[in-house]
Structure 1
Amino acid sequence: MYRPKTTLEQWRILQAVVDNGGYAHAAAALNKSQSSLNHAVAKLQNQLGVQLLEVRGRKAFLTEAGEVMLRRSRHLTQNVQELESLADNINQDWEPEITVALDLAYPKSHFYPVLKDFLPESRGSRLKLIDTVLTGTEEAVTQGWADIVIGGSVPKGYLGEPIAEVSFVAVSSPDHPLAQLDGPIEASELLQHLQLVIKDTSQTPNEKQGWLKSELRWTVSHFQTAIELVMQNMGFCWLPYHTVESHIESGQLVPLDIQGSSFRITNMFMIHPRPDTLGPGSRHLSDLILSHRQITPLNEQIEQQNNEASHGDDPRRT
Structure 2
Amino acid sequence: MYRPKTTLEQWRILQAVVDHGGYAHAAEKLNKSQSSLNHAVAKLQSQLGVQLLEVRGRKAYLTEAGEVMLRRSRHLTQNVQDLESLAANIQQHWEPEITLAVDLAFPRSLLYPSLQQFLPECRGSRLKIIDTVITGTEEAITQGWADLVISHHVPKGHLGEVIAQVNFLLVCHPEHPLSQTSGPIDPNELSQHLQLVIADTSQSPDEKQGWLKSEARWTVSQFHTAVDLLLQGIGFCWLPEHVVQPHLADGLLKQLDLDGSSFRRLVSYLVKPRPDNIGPGSQLLYDLILSNRQVIRQDDNTATTGNNP
Instruction: Tell me the TM-score normalized by structure 1.
Output: 0.87
The change in CA–CA distance for 1:133 and 1:36 in structure 2 (over 3 A counts) is same
Say if 1:234 and 1:22 are closer, same or farther in 2 by CA, change over 3 A.
farther
Q: Does 1:227 align with 2:233?
A: no
Q: Secondary structure at the match of 1:18?
A: helix
Structure 1: unaligned runs, 5 residues or longer: 299-318
> 2-side partners of 1:297 and 1:89: how far apart?
40
Amino acid at match of 1:227: V
CA contact (8 A) 2:51 2:66 kept: yes
1:133 is matched with 133
Mapped pair 1:187 → 2:187: yes
**One-letter code aligned to 1:188:** N
Distance 1:58 1:179 in 2: 83
Q: Which amino acid aligns with 2:239?
A: L
- Aligned residue number for residue 167 of structure 1: 167
Distance 1:18 1:218, change over 3 A: farther
Q: State whether residues 162 and 297 of structure 1, in contact with CA within 8 Å, keep that contact through their aligned partners in structure 2.
A: no
Aligned to 2:307: none
Task: Report the equivalent of 2:303.
Answer: none
Query: Match for residue 77 of structure 2?
Result: 77
Mapped pair 1:152 → 2:147: no
State the Cα distance separating 1:171 from its structure 2 match. Answer: 1.4
User: What is the deviation of 1:192?
Assistant: 2.6
Distance in 1 (CA, whole Å) between partners of 2:224 and 2:41 is 55
Find the counterpart in structure 2 of residue 258 from structure 1.
Answer: 258
Q: Please report how far the alpha carbon of residue 137 of structure 1 lies from its aligned counterpart in structure 2 after TM superposition.
A: 0.3
Distance 1:190 1:23, change over 3 A: farther
Query: Relative to 1, partners in 2 of residues 1:57 and 1:231: Cα closer, same or farther, differing over 3 Å?
Result: farther
Cα distance, 1:189 vs structure 2: 2.1
Q: Is the 8 A contact 2:165 2:296 kept in 1?
A: no
How far does the alpha carbon of each residue in 1:225-270 deviate from its partner, in whole angstroms, 9 at most, with x for none? 1111111221211111111222222222221111112211100111
Residue of structure 2 in register with 1:93 after alignment: 93
Shifted more, 85-94 versus 136-145: the winner is 85-94
Structure with greater proportional helix content: 1
Q: 1:143 to 1:297 in 2, by over 3 A?
A: farther
Instruction: Report the more deviating stretch, 254-263 or 34-43.
Output: 34-43
**What is the Cα deviation at residue 27 of structure 1?**
3.5
Matched residue, 1:289: 289
Asked if the contact 1:173/1:230 (under 8 Å) is kept, the reply is: yes
**Offset at residue 208 of structure 1 (A):** 0.4
**Distance across 2 between alignment mates of 1:121 and 1:154:** 29
In 2, Cα distance between the equivalents of 1:196 and 1:243?
15
Between the aligned partners of 2:52 and 2:165, the Cα distance in structure 1 is 59
Deviation track 1:100-148 (CA, whole Å, cap 9, x = no partner) reads 1111111111111111111121122221111111000010011111111
Alignment of 1:1-318 (within 5 A): 1-295=1-295
* RMSD between aligned residues: 2.0
User: What is the distance in 2 between the residues matched to 1:219 and 1:31?
Assistant: 67
Count of matched residue positions in the alignment of Structure 1 and Structure 2: 298
Q: CA deviation at 1:67?
A: 3.0
Cα deviation digits, residues 61-96 of structure 1 (max 9, x gap): 433433332232222111111111112112222222
How far apart in 1 are the matches of 2:295 and 2:55? Answer: 62
Greater Cα shift, 204-213 or 9-18: 9-18
Q: Secondary structure at the match of 1:12?
A: helix
Identity %: 72
User: For residue 17 of structure 1, what is the amino acid of its counterpart?
Assistant: V
